[in-house]
Amino acid sequence: MLSRVSASLTGLVLAAGVASAQAPAAPTPPDQLLLKDYRPVSIYKIPQTLVEKAKYPVIDVHSHAYVQTPEAVATWVKTMDAVGIEKTVVMVGGTGKRLDDALALFGRYPDRFEVWSGLDLSGADQPGFAARVIAELERGAKLGVRGVGELSDKGRGLRGSGGMHVDDPRLDPVFEKLADLGLPVNIHVGEDQWMYEEMTSANDGMMNAFKWKIAKEPGVLGHDEVIATLARAVAKHPRTTFIACHFANTTADLSMLARMLDASPNLYADIAARFGETSPIPRTMRKFYEKYQDRLLYGTDMGTDAEMYRSTFRILETEDEHFYLETLRLYHWPYHGFGLPDTILRKVYHDNAQRVLSR
């Protein structure tokens, strides 16, 4: 009897230990909670819309080579089918073998992917720089490259160029050749204004701003300065189609992008990876989409997950208010839908991109 009682007690102790190990951790006291760990849940009893598939076929003009195997590409295509993505632009950002490998990988689905190359901007001070860059562009075009991007200058100069900005005269022959070849170019300049502000309690974008902050250092162009380099380049090359990705990183002051669009008919802007920055101001954004409905292009720049795509559709299509998205949790604030009308959705999702890509 004693042995059985002991065994029972032992079992109870072990069970209690397992239960204790599985018990949820105690909530962090409010005065110790970090902003990055803030996970609010909306308690508003208001409409919540699940968008399984985009209302109209979609062309995603801003993606990258997120996958590296034929099997992973096939899985991506299945996801695209499930959510309504007709075609994806894969910006390789490279040349030579890196480009060739991407063309071979995504070339298995020529109707579903377009591969865009980068530019090798090294040796800009060497004789024959432009001719060398143009020769690779021509080679890529013969192999099926349909555009160039994403070129990136966050104030220190275009990546790999040794400090050359997009309006540098050494690039003029390259941009003119892009026009000759009918290849659009996607360019990233700067970051949004939060990333330039002081990292203090006054910065309401701190969660994401700290990660992508731009240091104030000698030789690094400020926000407005680097945006201006793009405006000048676009104006210099009216035959070339430019895409300013991420709303040209002007979401804190869209009047900057508006002036560029008004001045240059050859400029478009993609909306990729700026849903978190624009969703807090739904009425302002709806007006912006209405005014520039022929110049905005759908893009993601956030991977291949189905729920990521669906989150973007919810913001664009619905009038849902005050909701949180784990797939897009970059800031502490809630999201709001724009409720774009069908005529604008068709253009932003598909028709504008089709017009750019057909060039």
Helix, strand, coil percent values for the chain (each to nearest 5): 45, 10, 45
Model pLDDT for residues 145-166, shown as the tens digit of each residue: 999 999 999 999 999 999 999 9
Find how far residue 112's CA is from the centre of its chain: 19
223-236 helix and 255-263 helix, angle to the nearest 10 degrees = 10
At 314-339, the pLDDT tens digits run 999 999 999 999 888 889 999 999 99
For 275, list phi and psi in degrees, rounded to 5.
-70, -35
Calculate ∠ Cα 242-76-70, nearest 5°: 105
Residue 9, pLDDT score: 34
Range of weakest confidence among 8-12, 60-64, 150-154, 301-305: 8-12
The 3 state secondary structure assigned to 51-77 is: CCCCCCCEEEEEEECCCCCHHHHHHHH
Reduced to 3 states (helix: H, G, I; strand: E, B; else coil), residue 187 is strand
Residue 335 contacts by C-beta under 8 Å, 6 or more apart in sequence? Answer: 275, 276, 279, 280, 315, 320, 322, 323, 324, 325, 328
CA-to-CA dists, residue 333 to 32, 278, 299, angstroms: 19, 11, 22
The reported pLDDT for the residue numbered 156 is 96
pLDDT of residue 14: 39
Task: Name the least confident of 15-19, 20-24, 258-262.
Answer: 15-19
Strand-pair category, 185-189 with 148-153: parallel
End-to-end CA distance of the chain: 89
Question: Per-residue pLDDT averaged across 40-52, rounded?
Answer: 95
Q: What percent of the chain has pLDDT over 70?
A: 93
Q: Which domains does the chain have, with CATH numbers?
A: 51-357 (3.20.20.140)
| Tens of pLDDT, residues 22-38 | 667 788 888 888 888 88
Mean predicted confidence (pLDDT) in 189-214: 94
Can you say how many angstroms the Cα of residue 275 is from the centroid of all Cα atoms in its chain?
9
**pLDDT above 70 for 210:** yes
Residue owning tokens 């992917």 = 113
pLDDT band for position 124 (50/70/90)?
very high
Q: Rounded mean pLDDT of 39-52?
A: 94
| For range 127-156, the mean pLDDT | 97
Residue appearing with tokens 């624009």: 278
Q: Which of 2-16, 31-45, 171-185, 246-260 has the lowest mean pLDDT?
A: 2-16
Percent of the chain with pLDDT over 90: 84
- The Cβ-side half-sphere exposure at 123, using a 13 Å CA radius, reads 10
Q: What is the pLDDT of residue 36?
A: 82
The answer to whether residues 190 and 227 touch, using CB atoms and an 8 Å cutoff, is: yes
Residue 6 confidence (pLDDT) above 80: no
Q: In what side-by-side order are the strands of the sheet with 85-91?
A: 58-64, 85-91, 113-116
Q: Residue 152 CB: number of other CB atoms within 10 A? A: 19
Rounded to the nearest integer, the mean pLDDT of the chain is 92
* Alpha-carbon gap, residue 116 to 128, rounded angstroms: 23
Q: Are 247 and 276 in contact (CB under 8 A)?
A: no
Q: How many CA atoms lie within 13 A of 85 on its CB side?
A: 29
By CB neighbour count within 10 A (0-12 exposed, 13-18 middle, 19+ buried), where does 126 fall? exposed
Is residue 19 scored above 70 in pLDDT?
no
**pLDDT tens, position by position, 83-99:** 999 999 999 999 999 99
Read off the pLDDT of residues 100-123 as tens digits, 9 standing for 90 and up. 999 999 999 999 999 999 999 999
Residue 166 and residue 187 in contact, taking contact as beta carbons nearer than 8 Å: yes
Max mean pLDDT among 7-16, 37-46, 279-288 falls in 279-288
Question: How far is 181 from 161, CA to CA, in rounded Å?
Answer: 23
More confident residue, 81 or 31: 81
